[in-house]
Amino acid sequence: MKLLYDFSPVLLFFIAYKLYDIYVATAVAMVASFLQTAGYWLRYRRFETMHLVTLGMILVLGGATLFFQNPIFIKWKPTVVNWLFAGAFLGSQWIGGKPIIERLIGDQIKLPQVVWTRLNLSWTTFFILSGAANLYVAYHFSEATWVNFKLFGMMGLTIGFVVLQAFYLSRHVIEIQEHSSPSDAPRKDESL
């Protein structure tokens, strides 16, 4: 459900584009992103970084698209957002003591430190490649193809990457003992 919530501005952009044009779709995405961020704050009394970054970029690049009547600005938005996240993930290797991915999900699963580092670097690489793929489609294909890629391609890439990550993580998750093991129980001769 969270994935749908996170992708809702993109979905509404797609629908508005199919019904109208890139400019109406951009305005719809700007409003949807604002409402998404505000709705999250009203529900949880906090902001999510991804929503704030996306809102900032959609307001700046969407605003430029509408002001200059040039869709290239909105086409750059997914790349800028992905590359900002790539920079943050990469920088977290050296700043803050823990990689971002460990800070995000470290309380849910336990992994060896080397796996956290690999996982963080794999997300960095994913964000860089996603941004590059967006630019490739934006500059080499029609606007309609780019809009389809923005929704289906980017979502498909993200879901596929998460599935691959799950397979990788399943081999490295450290089991947490909920109950004491039999070796922790006092032996008969120790209890005397």
Give residue-wise pLDDT tens across range 111-140.
Answer: 888 999 999 999 999 999 999 999 999 999
What pTM value is reported for the model? 0.83
Which residues, including other chains, have CB under 8 Å from residue 77's CB and lie 6 or more apart? 57, 58, 61, 62
- CA dist., res. 52 & res. 73, Å (int): 18
> 185 falls in which pLDDT band (50, 70, 90)?
very low
- Is residue 160 within 8 Å of residue 129, measured between CB atoms? no
Q: Is the pLDDT of residue 187 over 50?
A: no
Helices 154-170, 113-140: crossing angle, 10 deg rounding: 160
